[in-house]
Amino acid sequence: KKLEVLDQKRSNAINIGLVHLPKPNAIKTAIMNMDSSVLSREDIEKILTGMIPTEEEIQKITELRKANNDANSNRTAETFLETMGSISELQSRLKLWVFKLDYDALESEISDPLYDLKKGMDELKRSKTFKFILSTLLSVGNFLNNTSAPGFTIDYLTKVTEVKDTVYKHTLLHHLVNLIIDQFPVSGDLYTEISSIVRCSKIDWEDVKDKLDKLESDCKSSRNHLIAINKHDPTFLNKHKISDFLTSTMKRICIVKIVYKRVFNRWVKFLLWLGYTVDEAKNINVKQFCQTLSEFALEFRTMKEKVQNARIKKQNMKERKKTRGLMIVQVGHSVRWLIG
């Protein structure tokens, strides 16, 4: 007599999940040994999120199993749940395994943006093009407003494409680019020079802090999972290896927390270097700041290419005008220009 204790919807969900999974006994062995060669990260997540048996299901399956000694051994949803139910601390094992597999990637999602922010501040400090732009824009602004302001906030960069002259209707960015090309021919491509800032402009920095807090919380939870597993399974083969892993990850998390704090302390100092007050620096949004710079740098590059192409075109027109109305006559190996 076939075991059937699940409703149709639950049974179908389990059977669909089993389509690409090994046999229940193989799954059990893989979970007990945390064998990633048998179960992939996706397989573990699939079992963890929708294929964990409830206590009620295990109880019903056990009762029916006792009442049906000749039950068949087909790979049904009930057989799978019965096998999973025989694994002590199943959920703890799976969550611990997932944390172990995900840790490096989760750490990178925090450390990589921090590295980019640190590198981006250094790039801005070293960028001569950035300094040329700021000094020129300040001079232009003071001239137009008949003032002698010592500086301006970074959000003013968003207005350079809006302000236009009254004669040719060229934007302030257009005039700025021309001045930079004429006065600072060694200036480069700001967008390329601040590539780390460009990447920082795409980061949700509040999410980075949340990820760091969650990583620490998950590590502590994983330690509790390991304690629970050892309590019910003293022969757990990987307990020493997993224990060493968790000790190592907690140390690494502590280091990441220190790096996070130091990078943001450096961020405040960087803003002070730009001329902001302490109170202003504490309230400046990292993502918005980086987005402003990134978008301006891209607009500056686009305008610079446009201006340089226009200058080349104008120079070519001048060269053509020099030979307009002349006729080429070849005499021997020499070429002469004659008036036509």
Tokens of 169: 């209707």
Q: Which residues contact 109 (CB under 8 A, 6 or more apart)?
A: 208, 211
Instruction: Output Rg (C-alpha) for the chain, integer angstroms.
Output: 34
Buried b (16+ CB within 10 A) or exposed e, 153-176: ebebbeebbeeeeeeeeebbbbbb
Which stretch of DSSP H or E encloses residue 329?
strand 326-331
Q: Give the pLDDT score at 228.
A: 96
**What tens digit of pLDDT does each residue of 235-264 get?**
888 899 999 999 999 999 999 999 999 999
User: For the chain (length 340 residues), average pLDDT per consecutive 10?
Assistant: 72 92 95 95 96 92 72 68 94 97 97 98 97 96 92 93 92 96 95 97 96 97 96 89 97 98 97 94 95 97 96 90 66 55
**Domains of the chain: residue spans and CATH:** 8-87 (1.20.58)
Q: Please state the pTM of the whole predicted model.
A: 0.85
Q: Secondary structure of the chain: what % helix, strand, coil (to 5)?
A: 70, 5, 25
